[in-house]
Structure formats: structure tokens, C-alpha cells
Amino acid sequence: MARNIGLDVPIPETECEDINCPFHGTLPVRGQVITGKVVSDRMNGTVVVEHEYLHYIKKYRRYEKRRSRYHAHSTPCINASTGDVVRIAECRLLSKTKSFVVVEVMKE
């Protein structure tokens, strides 16, 4: 039985036994919701998501591209892999560098 996490995302069709799953476990999500591309899935249960954005430089009146990398927990029911465009949501600290969880795979 999947629970409502408070975001407008589809509930995964497969069930998982992960306690850190926002749908089937007890992990609450709150705060930022970010869209990015998975650049690495080689860690066990973790993906690296890269978010590109534009930053305005006032002196030159132009924009420059910048990127941020986030470590996010990937649950077995969502199963994000390299190249996927995903939506991640902020949660409590899961490890030293992980404070986001994948809630939706938008494009594969």
C-alpha cells in the first residue's frame, strides 16, 4: 500500500521493502523539489543528479550556465539509471552527503 507524499507525482506500480522509500517506507519529504539528469548510478542505492541553471552576471548583462550535483537515494520501486531525467525531493539527512530522494522518473 503506497501512501500520499504530498507532491503531484505518480505512485510507483511496483512495491518495495525499503524503509527510506517515500511511498512504501516512513521517509517524509519536505522542502526543495529539483529536476535534473542522472549522471551516475554506480553507488548502491544512490544516484548523482546534475541540475543545470542560468546565473545572471550583472556586469556583462548576460547569463552563464552553472550546474549543481546532488546525491539522492534511489529506491528499488523507482530504479533510476544513468541518463534518466528525474525529480528529486528534499528529505532528512540519510547519510553524510544524501539529503534528497528520487520521487519520479520523468524521461528515460
Confidence of residue 3 (pLDDT cuts 50, 70, 90): confident
Residue 69 lies in a domain: yes
13 part of a folded domain? no
Over residues 50-79, the pLDDT tens digits come to 999 999 999 999 999 999 999 999 999 998
Q: What percent of the chain has pLDDT over 70?
A: 100
Give me the chain's average pLDDT, please. 94
Q: Please give the radius of gyration of the chain, using alpha carbons only, rounded to the nearest integer.
A: 15
What pLDDT score does 81 carry? 93
Cβ–Cβ under 8 Å, residues 40 and 48 = yes
pTM of the model: 0.91
Distance CA 48, CA 72 (A): 6
Q: Is residue 46 part of a domain?
A: yes
Domain count of the fold of the chain: 1
Tell whether the model's pLDDT for residue 107 goes beyond 90.
no
| Structure confidence at residue 100 (pLDDT) | 97
In a domain, 43, yes or no: yes
Q: Report the pLDDT value the prediction gives residue 37, as an integer from 0 to 100.
A: 98
Q: Is residue 37 part of a domain?
A: yes
Which residues constitute the domain of residue 86?
29-106
Provide mean pLDDT across the span 85-89.
Answer: 96
The answer to whether residue 3 is domain-embedded is no
Distances (CA, A) of 101 to 5, 19, 58, 60: 12, 12, 34, 37
Domain-embedded: residue 84: yes
| CATH number assigned to the domain comprising residue 63 | 2.40.50.1000
12 lies in a domain?
A: no
How far lies 26's CA from each of 4, 30, 37, 51, 92, in Å?
A: 11, 13, 26, 27, 11
* Mean pLDDT, residues 12-41 taken together: 93
